Structure 1
Amino acid sequence: MGVRVGDVDEVVEVIRIADAAEAADGASPLDEAARIALADGVAAVAVRDGGFAVLHDGDLSLAVHPDHRRQGVATALLQQTSYDGQLTAWSHGHHPAAVRLAEAYGWERVRDLWVMRRPTDLPLAPLEVPDGVTIRSYRDTDAAAVVAVNAAAFAHHPEQGAMDEDNLARRMAEPWFDPAGLLVAEDDSGILGFHWTKQHDAQLGEVYVVGVAPGAQGRGLGRVLTLAGLHHLTGLGVDEVLLYVESDNAPAVAVYSRLGFTHADVDTHVQYRSPTTAG
């Protein structure tokens, strides 16, 4: 990127700009991976004229404070970004300015990620667990098995599939983590799948990750685990539960739709990929 890893003042400014952008746009320009990279000091950071660029592992996050938009700040930040390889960048909430910038520089739209939402005042079906299967909360001894199931279930997923035990531990170190909200399904052969829920605040919960081992698929465990997590989150008193799903994952979208989740066009995140080496 041509800049050093951000110092404390730069990181504070990035968060300030990101918070202002979220208030204006309804979606944060920083996803969880970017925030962790910032906190751990492993992201390259550029801050200028009320905007920022954050780069880690080939993924670019770029945003401009609402008070500084339409002044060429995003263009300047993109032009100064360099990377040895193709870059990817998310437009959280599919912002029209991101569309214009991508078109101007030939970035290709490669993924659509949907946010689907469900109010908790909708009735939930009773939880019926298949014979021989138990659903329980996470234990420390489950780490290796959860990572193995996750790797198999998300083998073709560029972010989630890369989770190892260190990354699992890093996520569990976040203030929101509650082992009671990480539900695992097991039988005599071991752990078959898991549903990791997340409570954002008193009003909002999330279907954070649902993974089922390939050998256990076809038994309805994805729906059962999702439903178990929804019962857990509803019991916490949240008003709404959201989840993220690839727009082209028709089986998952169908499962979530039958459970009462819906998607609005404004709840779409778009990933772009640079045509060649950026810069």
Structure 2
Amino acid sequence: MKFKNLIVYWRTVLMVAEITLRHQWNDSFILFAIIVQPMIIAILALFMLRGLGGDYAMYVVVGSGLTGLWSSLLFISGNSINNERREGTLESLVAVPTPFEVIVFGKNLANVVQSLISMSSSYLLAALFFGYTLKMVSPLLFVGSVLISIFAFISFGLVIAPLFIIYRGIQQWQNAMEFPVYILAGFLFPIALLPAWTTPVSYVLPPYWAARALHETSTGAGDVEKVIFAWGMMLLFSVIDLFLASKLFKYMLYKARVDASLETV
């Protein structure tokens, strides 16, 4: 995917995101994935860590929000093309002059922004029901981390969506990919607690760098240099993901046109 397309079609991206948000607010599965499930995770973690202080609570709040973000990316963004095919709208979307990956980018934007609700709900849960006084140590850096994380997650979703539809065998592992990323990305506890051989796996996961930046800016556990390094890694992976997504979308559309049917892509 080209950055130029995002600039030229920015209005299309925002319109697709708005329509997607309106549509998904009526989907009970999506609401469970982005609100209910992260709150359950937050309640269990906060209950186990009760009395240990606000830093631990803030770590859980951010981590539970990231679980909702990853679940949304994996199940909703990952199935975005398949859903269009099942609803019979895929042919129309491919036929419009707007590049198809721009439309999927808008859908992913809606999914990621909507998932941020889980972080807000966990924050209120910790403050109101568990009595924690939560304080954002570096609010400006945290906001910057959130914005870059949104872009990194959207870019990662652009790789997952065509990959699931091109290689059906990968999608069969969709459910099994959810909780390992929770662990390997360090959403709810540092990866230093894991075996050393898992560390390289964590480093190649964009969600890990998002979790690292958000945890360090919310709790003050890291310095500015570490936060900027995490930002750089997220931007690097975003560029790589956009490049891979461009190739995957071209291959998907080429295969569909050669087979003369988008329904069997």
TM-score normalized with structure 2 length? 0.25
Q: Over alpha carbons, which structure has the higher Rg?
A: 1
TM-score, length of structure 1 as denominator length: 0.24
Structure with greater helix share of residues: 2
Please state which structure has a larger fraction of its residues in strand.
1
